Amino acid sequence: MESWPHLQELQKKYGGAPFQLLAINAEDSRKDIGFFFTREHPAYQMLYNGKALAAQLGVPAYPTLIIVDSSGKVLYSGVGFDQDKIEGIIRNNLPLAGS
């Protein structure tokens, strides 16, 4: 939940084709964290009960951020959230509309 405002800002700033943000909640069902969804209205897609996908991606801890380009190449994977670093990777590696 600590990273939520940062993720929300990224989606609002860069959201749309070709940038899409997807949050994966590994443990909780949508019902279990429905209060958060209802209260905060995330601007990005959220996957619930994503434990199997998180394991498949090799997520070591939470929050983990993975940036993947349109070809499927992993551009970044790291635990925690460094706003400047993340935005730099997005700006420099993803073909964003209007950039």
The pTM of the full predicted model, rounded to 2 decimals, is 0.72
Q: Please choose, from the candidates 64, 85, 84, 67, the residue with its C-alpha nearest in 3D space to the C-alpha of residue 76.
A: 67
Give me the domain span that covers residue 8.
4-92
CATH of residue 13's domain is 3.40.30.10
In a domain, 10, yes or no: yes
In a domain, 97, yes or no: no
In a domain, 53, yes or no: yes
In a domain, 13, yes or no: yes
In a domain, 99, yes or no: no
Q: Is 69 helix (H, G, I), strand (E, B) or coil?
A: coil
In a domain, 70, yes or no: yes
Q: Is 34 helix (H, G, I), strand (E, B) or coil?
A: helix
Tens of pLDDT along 15-68?
877 778 888 888 887 788 888 878 888 888 888 888 898 888 888 888 888 888
State residue 74's pLDDT score.
85
Q: Structural domain tally of the chain?
A: 1
Q: Which long-range contacts (CB under 8 A, 24 or more apart) does 77-83 make?
A: 81/2, 81/3, 81/6, 83/6, 83/9
State residue 72's pLDDT score.
82
Q: Residue 77 pairs with which residues in a beta bridge?
A: 66
d(CA 47, CA 87) in angstroms, rounded, equals: 22
Give 13's contacts (C-beta < 8 A, 6+ positions apart). 87
In a domain, 20, yes or no: yes
In a domain, 80, yes or no: yes
The label of the residue with tokens 């939520």 reads 4
